[in-house]
Amino acid sequence: MNKDQVKGRVEETKGKIKEAAGVILDDKGMEIEGNIQKNVGKVRAGYGDLKQDIKDDD
């Protein structure tokens, strides 16, 4: 695993937690912010996966 994969998955998890907290607290702003953070984490993890695949092909 490279650092982009790790950081992306950590960010995704933090976003999921924030999104769930927003739902529980009925705070739409927090829910949306968590959703965005979750999706940014997914993108970063995907980028890390792609980098790893390219590295493994060499």
Q: In this predicted model, what pLDDT tens digit does every residue of 13-29 receive, in sequence order? A: 999 999 999 999 999 99
Spacing of C-alpha 41 from chain mean position: 2
| Average pLDDT score over the chain | 96
What share of the chain has pLDDT > 90, as a percent?
93
Cα–Cα distances (Å) from 7 to 21, 23, 29, 30, 58, in that order, read 21, 24, 23, 21, 24
Task: Give residue 27's pLDDT.
Answer: 98
pLDDT at 58: 75
Other CB atoms within 10 Å distance of the CB of residue 56: 7
Output the pLDDT for position 57.
86
